[in-house]
Structure 1
Amino acid sequence: MTELDIPSHDGATLETAPTRYVESRTIRFAYRRLGPATGTPLVLLQHFSGNIDAWDPAVVNSLAADRPVIAFDNAGVGRSSGQTPDNVAAMARDAVEFINALGLAEVDLLGFSLGGCVAQQIAAEHGGLVRKLILVATAPRGGEEHLLAVLQDAFSQADVPDPRLPLFFTKSSNSRASGLAFLKRTRVRSDDRDTDNGKAVTDPQAKALITWCATPDPDHEILRAIHQPALVVSGSHDTMLPADNAYAMFKQLRNAQLVLYPDSGHGALFQHHEIFVDHVRTFLDTRSTAA
């Protein structure tokens, strides 16, 4: 299978594109493909607990205006078969299995949160597969995380309509308003919505993220192995994976750019979705130079 063999849904949106399936050797992956038939596909790697419908249509649809974009459920997530691994290395192997099942020889990666850890692992191990990568609200191996404490605080707030509001956005009125708009966008699709598999996904994913950050990497072996151009993005007040992680990755990666968004938390890409898309487009479209 070549890139052109993948069904194109140019003009479709995250809310309207059909959920499709591809079989690998061991897993039946659910995915949606948007955008034109040609160009380097941008593969989206999702955050802790998230599925295809947890992506922001404002981000995904805008990115798909001029490039193929593929959102998928990794093993055990949503409608994909298999068991969700409890470590980042296995998640990366499953994601590569998905990319190979689509017959793609080269992709760009956008990894958000836990997905950013997976993107680092893939880029480090599969240099020929990944052209460029975007690392958003994530951490290097051995980085700083506050997952359990932040989750406990978010779920204890009975006055919020969705725990993603305090998890992804700050307490300012502007950020909260952006959060409410984000939540509204994610709920537009009513038919063929993805499924939430609960603790079968969140328990192993939590272990994977915590272990990734708890594993020392004093020589920065993962980051030093990444030669591809990288765009590192963070919110100024990310309480889950603090912005210090972004700066640490920026310093160690061979060829990286760093963007920090003001008055924003873990979901900075959703709060500042218009400028985020502009930054991603510029980064992906700019001719690469040697690091």
Structure 2
Amino acid sequence: MTDLDAATSERATLETAPTRYIEGDGIRFAYRQLGPSTGTPLVLLQHFSGNIDAWDPAVVNALASDRSVIAFDNAGVGRSTGKTPDNVVAMARDAVTFLDLLGFSKVDLLGYSLGGCVAQQIAPEHSSLVRKLILVGTAPQGGEEHLLAVLEEAFSHTEAPDPRLPLFFTQSAASQAAGKAFLDRVYTRKEDRDIDNGSAVTDPQAKALITWCATPDPEHALLRAIEQPSLVVSGSHDTMLPAGNAYAMFKAMSNAQLILYPDSGHGALFQHHSLFVSQARAFLDA
């Protein structure tokens, strides 16, 4: 990155940052980089069906106030080329390719939902690369998932302005209000928005998530192989990947902390964004 690019990134927000591209291993990755170039970069691994503009600016911009934050589209997602894999192992391989292309020798990972599965796959295999993990609204191998049922329920709410409102938030007035505020924030960017690739992304991603949770790991071998400090976060009423997953992960991991947010669903980090950012920053800075 040039000095001009670095200065642009430091001033940018998720809503204003230019979408950049880097290519390798047959994939042209789209990404945005925010914040100062000092310290350990925080790389965001996105949820099922999500792209760069599905992240909440209130979370990303606040995290980038004192560290480099990179949001990117993995292979086949958004403006990145290639084919979206139908398994977590291949998704992790592609994400590591992206990190290698950027020349990072040490990163922190924030994996949300499906991205949290990818982060779990990367961390033990690349222990020298990954310093710390934040795992939000996710599940271990063999964990509990209700992806298809929850999606069907969410899309049945035809009165909702966006399926993420019933999908990510509870039915309480407070949670719904937080959800509407979240939607206002994610649609703030009008120019150069990321693109939705539809079933070419969602079909293989659904298979990957369902297969991950259907793969038994009764001894939690993968989780026990993760030695990095980890922060496990869940909403109290996450219907897609229930909070019991977070507790199981916390118990199995050797160096994990657990946070459960009240009256919140799969989008707990967006509903409680100020608290989440303060706790995430404290964890990363410790």
Identity %: 75
Tell me, in whole angstroms, the C-alpha distance in 2 between the residues paired with 1:81 and 1:5.
26
Superposed, 1:215-226 pairs within 5 Å as 215-226=215-226
How far apart in 1 are the matches of 2:4 and 2:215? 40
- Contact kept? 1:19, 1:32, Cα under 8 Å: yes
Match of 1:186, as an amino acid? V
3-state SS, counterpart of residue 222 of structure 1: helix
What's the offset of the Cα at 1:149? 0.2
Calculate the TM-score normalised by the size of structure 2.
0.98
Match of 2:273 in 1: 273
Per the alignment, residue 171 of structure 1 pairs with 171
List aligned pairs for 1:252-291, cutoff 5 A: 252-286=252-286
Q: Secondary structure at the match of 1:211?
A: helix
Alignment partner, residue 70 of structure 2: 70
For structure 1, list consecutive stretches of 5 or more residues without a partner in the other structure.
Answer: 287-291
**TM-superposed deviation, 1:256:** 0.3
Cross-structure match for 2:40: 40
- Distance in 1 separating the partners of 2:5 and 2:168: 33
In structure 2, do the counterparts of structure 1 residues 29 and 5 end up closer, same or farther at CA, with 3 Å as the change threshold? farther
Q: Is residue 261–residue 268 contact of structure 2 (8 Å, CA) maintained in 1?
A: yes
- The 2-side partners of 1:113 and 1:7 are apart by 30
Q: What does residue 92 of structure 2 align with?
A: 92
Q: Cα RMSD over matched residues?
A: 1.3
1:98-154 Cα distance to aligned partner (Å, 9 max, x none): 000000000000000000000000002110000000000000000000000000011
Retained in 1: the 8 A contact 2:6–2:36? no
Give, in whole Å, the separation in 1 of the partners of 2:178 and 2:150: 20
Distance in 1 between residues matched to 2:126 and 2:167, nearest whole Å: 32
Distance between the aligned counterparts of 1:48 and 1:135, measured in 2? Answer: 14
Please tell me the residue identity of whatever aligns with 1:262. P
Give SS of 1:10's match.
helix
In 2, Cα distance between equivalents of 1:85 and 1:221: 23
Give the structure 2 partner of residue 198 of structure 1.
198
Indicate conservation of the 8 Å contact 1:4/1:37, yes or no.
no
Residue 18 (1) aligns with residue 18 (2) = yes
Residue 80 of structure 2: aligned partner: 80
TM-score normalized by structure 1?
0.96
| 1:124 aligned partner | 124
Q: How many positions carry a matched residue from both structures?
A: 285
Write the distance in 2 (CA, Å) between the matches of 1:85 and 1:6: 31
Equivalent residue number for residue 160 of structure 1: 160
1:232 aligns with 232
In 1, Cα distance between the equivalents of 2:189 and 2:250?
36
CA distance in 2, matches of 1:89, 1:166: 30
Change (3 A) 1:73 1:59: same
> Are the equivalent residues in 2 in contact too, given 1:42–1:69 (CA < 8 A)?
yes
CA drift of 1:7 comes to: 3.8
Q: Runs of 4 or more off by more than 3 Å in structure 1?
A: 3-8
